Amino acid sequence: MNAIAKRSCGECSACCYTHGVKELNKDNFIQCQYTRGGGGCGIYGIHPKSCRVYSCSWLDGVVGAPEDRPDKLGLVIGVQRWQYRLGDPEVTLVFEAWPGAFDTERGQLFAHTQMQQGAVLCVMSKEKLPRFSYYLYRLSTTEAYGLRLEEKGYLVYWREPQD
């Protein structure tokens, strides 16, 4: 995926809720104690390493339109480049910033766009069990990976490609 222009967090601090911070002993889906009202970090500049190295795919301009900032879309997106086997598809981690955000019309449009490009979505939610599940289109580039996930006992939602 090609990066677009660099963006700004602005008032967004959705990742401060969705992501765990080991140095602060903070789990996923708990608001960070240092988040400022209106966005931003109260300890920015001396914030933990895991916060400094986190890469928001929207902020980096890799995914989503400008109006899809995580606090507006309700999804915090991280494109991962890990592969268990050579040739495995890219996995896009999608954290719900609020319950049901993935199931909204905008959330589903985002999912459709990403899956059309061959991405496998790993959606993490505070409200749903299991906490994470995989969504993918049955494409030649993703089918073997999805079947391996199923064999390992992961919840996989297969979607048929659409135009």
Mean pLDDT of 50-73: 90
pLDDT digits (tens, 9 = 90+) for 110-125: 999 888 888 889 999 8
Checking if the pLDDT of 30 tops 80, the result is: yes
d(CA 92, CA 134): 10
Report helix, strand or coil for 71.
helix
The conformation of residue 51, written as its DSSP 8-state character, comes to: H
Q: Would you give the distance in Å from CA 70 to the centre of its chain?
A: 9
User: Which tokens hold the place of 52?
Assistant: 């400094």
pLDDT of residue 17: 94
pLDDT at 163: 55
pLDDT exceeds 90 at position 14: yes
Residues 6+ apart with CB under 8 A from 29: 17, 18, 126
Mean pLDDT highest for which of 45-49, 78-82, 88-92?
Answer: 45-49
pTM of the model: 0.84
CB atoms within 10 A of CB 16: 23
pLDDT of 19 reads 92
The residue ranges of every structural domain in the chain are: 11-54, 55-159
What is the overall mean pLDDT for the chain?
A: 86
Going by pLDDT thresholds of 50, 70 and 90, the confidence category of residue 126 is confident
Q: Please say whether the beta carbons of 147 and 118 come within 8 A.
A: no
- Biggest CA–CA distance in the chain, Å, is 47
Confidence (pLDDT) at 108: 92
In this structure, how many other beta carbons lie within 10 angstroms of the beta carbon of residue 127?
10
d(CA 68, CA 15): 14
Cα dist. 32→14, 28, 35, 47, 96 in Å?
10, 10, 6, 11, 16
Mean pLDDT (whole number) for 43-50 = 92
pLDDT confidence of residue 1: 47
